Amino acid sequence: MAMLLASAAPGQPRRAAPAASELTLNTSGYYEAPGANVLVFSNWYDGLFADSKISGVEIIQQDERIATNGDVRLAATPGQWDPTARFIGREVDQRNGAITVTLEYPDQHWRYRIRSEKAGGAVKVSVLLDQPVPAALAGRAGFNLEFLPAAYFHHGYLADDRTGTFPLYPADAMTRTPERNAASGRAEGPGAEPQPIAAARRFVLAPEDAGRRVTIESSEPVQLYDGRNQAQNGWFVLRSLLPTGKTGTVLEWTVRPTSVPGWRRAPVIAHSQLGYTPGGSKVATIELDRADTRALTPRLLRVGSDGTMTPVTIPATKRWGDYLRYSYLRLDFSAVRQPGLYVLEYGTTRTAPFRIADDVYAGAWHPTLDIYFPVAMDHMYVNEGYRVWHGEAHRDDARQAPVNHEHIDLYAQGPTTDSKYKPGEHIPGLNVGGWFDAGDFDIRTQSQYQVIRSMVDSWERWRPTRDTTAVDEARRRTEMHVPDGTPDLLQQIAHGTRQLVAQFDAVGHAIHGIVEPDVAQYTHLGDASTKTDGLIYDPSLKPGEEKNGRSGMPDDRWAFTTKASALNYGSIAGLAAASRALQGSDPALAKRALALATATWAEEQSHPPDLYQHGNTTGGPLEMERFSAAVELLRATRDPRYVTAVETLYPEVERWFAPSLRDAVAAIPFMPASYRARLIPAVRAYANEADKAATANPFGVPITTGGWAGSGTVMGYALNAYALHKAFPEIVPADAVFRGAEFLLGHHPGSDRSFVSGVGTLSKEVAYGNNRADFSFIAGGVVPGVLVIKPDFPENHEDWPFFWGENEYVIPEGAMWIELAQSVDELARERQ
């Protein structure tokens, strides 16, 4: 882990900061001084949720984003589904150092502007109104700025002349509120709002620490709230209510971050936390503050059994250039082949130890299969030694979702149920199999079949017989670290397949998924078995009444069942793939899966496709899903009809070859020789584009810039390279496979931490799993990783798990890691 260069060692007081430097509006459109940045609407929500904490006025101080969401909001501590304004436009006045942003609350037909201006070492932020605050928003509309709690733990504050310290755990007074409708993002029934913990015209946060000190001065009273009183993912919020009946400049804040002249960020030595094979490429990338012009010599040190650090001769670094906000040096020590334990050093930055060994990749996927996927198993009791991860969850699945209903989490039901069930009616048989999709507890069908197919690919390529988990589907019990005689990978494939089969048996087609009906259940953390009472809802019973295994508690999850051909085709692909893998271990399930796949394919050919789409829960592009189904059916049956289908459908996916190429390549052994030749132009074009991506940044992989970070994209890039290298070695080398794996393992911007929890010496230990409220992790889970805060700040917080775009585990990425880790292990052994 990189050591702090510009401050004292951890646990020691920082030196008093010199006088702050003036903030200037740079050419990237944000205010900048040494060690301090103020962003003004450089980022905005992506339309999915309003809780991504990437918006409005933001502060980056000594390379940590400590404040965000500076904007007019309608609650003191807004939650994920509370209203947020609509972004209209942003104007940058470079000459005068000003930024003006226009936003509106369309339901109230109310527009406002937020203007920022440089003011020496501060930024003046003003709220400008052409029309007064509407009566409906009076006493609700206020300017908020949210501060990251983890950045202010163990710190104090000044509120005018009064003093305080930031609470480590929320325990403040609350005010009971009247009933509010769930449509507003709150569960129905009485609620509560936090009371302010301090009020002043002038706040100084962390006055004792130059790395966290921020001063806020306001024309109106400012109140400090602790949003964690309402939800574990809440932040500390400074808020000024907007005065009513006024126009023009109705509020002015002077925001003064602490700039330290001469401050520079500590170097980061990006490298693989797992290590390297003796004969493999070994490249580390040194990430530097652009003001860091020192000519230091990096060192590779071999760790002796007595603790001695023996320098090993390595070549000089080469300058790569600038990327995002940093400068980069490239250190290639591939010539070092002696096995052992090593560290890298640059100035006072020293890495954690890593290995050079023949077996460095062996077992890198074990935590994902041994721990992460068992924990993710729905409808099971999951035990690990003395620990119960969760009891038997969702025994009461599931009720038919209401028609014409849009859910809070990207699900929606169309105008009919497309099933024989009425809205609210129990759909029997869905309470089997499947995995929790992500850090929450829904079953997203698209994720289920993606995981099944990925796991089947791992099984068919490498036949991993690892057995450390006992799965008893009849007793609905999973026991971790207990072998039961059946390969764990096959048991996981069967578990996912049971859920897909259950969907077809219950309603006749694939469904979007099964998800909690309201916000109160959706935001549940902890043991999944306590989300519902496990008893099927009976509307004839009173709330709290139980009879004959049923209850009057309408807490059962909803099944969204509007038919979508893309989902059907994706599920066909998953079922067909599973049928191959399960022939030996569960022939009855294999037979049923293949029968459903072939029958559903035939049914889909008999009518125009059902094109219903919503969010990211109704399948991928129809052409891609249909091609996948044809390929998997061909692999499962060798039926000439599917040869024809693959030939016919290939032109539809050739135009977006990248996301379909692994399917296209998988079909090669079952197709005429002319088919392989037909792929070559697309393979060459893809290889050329992949080579360009490899030179766009120092890490040699595509780095995304959206609201969800790009570990999945990187793994897809690496697995594409593996598939093409195996099928077209004369065109595509294997290098990108290693670069992709090393990116996940620590060779990436912003830090050197592995994005696979428990894999590598230093890995993600604070992540967005279902245990995130404990600031903990699930071994083997893969997080999204590096999120680029526009325009140029790579971020992955290890001190705050609730950044879902950076830290949320999702099951498809877990399955992809199992594939990628075995791919790179295979290729490394070949190179030996």
Among 156, 139, 168, CA closest to 76: 139
On the question of pLDDT at 147 being above 70, the answer is yes
Residues constituting the chain:
832
Instruction: Compute the average pLDDT of residues 129-146.
Output: 97
Q: DSSP class of residue 529?
A: G
CB within 8 A of 551, min separation 6: which ones?
533, 535, 536, 537, 538, 541, 544, 545
Contact indicator for 803, 53 with CB cutoff of 8 Å: yes
β-pair type (299-303, 309-312): antiparallel
The secondary element (H helix, E strand) that includes residue 493 is helix 488-507
Q: Rounded to the nearest 5°, which phi and psi values hold at 664? A: -60, -40
Quick check: bond before 398 cis, omega within 30? yes
pTM for the whole thing? 0.94
Instruction: Compute the average pLDDT of residues 121-137.
Output: 97
Q: Band the pLDDT of 373: cuts 50, 70, 90.
A: very high
Q: Is 758 left (phi over 0), alpha (psi -120 to 50) or beta?
A: left
Of 40-54, 289-303, 427-441, 701-715, which range is least confident? 40-54
The per-residue pLDDT for 672 is: 97
Handedness of CA 729, 734, 736, 740 (dihedral sign): positive
The per-residue pLDDT for 6 is: 35
Tokens for 500, please give them: 């897909």
Instruction: Compute the average pLDDT of residues 606-616.
Output: 96
CB within 8 A of 171, min separation 6: which ones?
229
Give CA–CA dist 745/448, Å, rounded. Answer: 25
**201 CB burial (10 A radius; 0-12, 13-18, 19+):** middle
The secondary element (H helix, E strand) that includes residue 637 is helix 622-637
The per-residue pLDDT for 49 is: 67
The beta strands (E) that lie in 227-291 are given as: 236-241, 248-257, 268-270, 275-276, 283-289
The per-residue pLDDT for 602 is: 98
The per-residue pLDDT for 20 is: 61
Contact indicator for 496, 578 with CB cutoff of 8 Å: yes
Which residue type is seen at 195? Answer: Q
Instruction: Compute the average pLDDT of residues 775-797.
Output: 98
Give CA–CA dist 292/349, Å, rounded. Answer: 14
Question: What percentage of residues in the chain have a pLDDT greater than 90?
Answer: 90
Instruction: Compute the average pLDDT of residues 585-604.
Output: 98
Q: Which domains does the chain have, with CATH numbers?
A: 24-173+191-257 (2.70.98), 268-356 (2.60.40.10), 384-610 (1.50.10.10), 669-832 (1.50.10.10)
On the question of pLDDT at 83 being above 50, the answer is yes
Contact indicator for 383, 478 with CB cutoff of 8 Å: yes
Of 13-22, 76-85, 416-425, 675-684, which range is least confident? 13-22
Among 545, 750, 572, CA closest to 645: 572
Give CA–CA dist 115/725, Å, rounded. Answer: 53
Give CA–CA dist 259/112, Å, rounded. Answer: 30
Q: DSSP class of residue 135?
A: G
Instruction: Compute the average pLDDT of residues 213-233.
Output: 96
Q: Band the pLDDT of 519: cuts 50, 70, 90.
A: confident
Q: Band the pLDDT of 520: cuts 50, 70, 90.
A: confident
Q: Band the pLDDT of 9: cuts 50, 70, 90.
A: very low
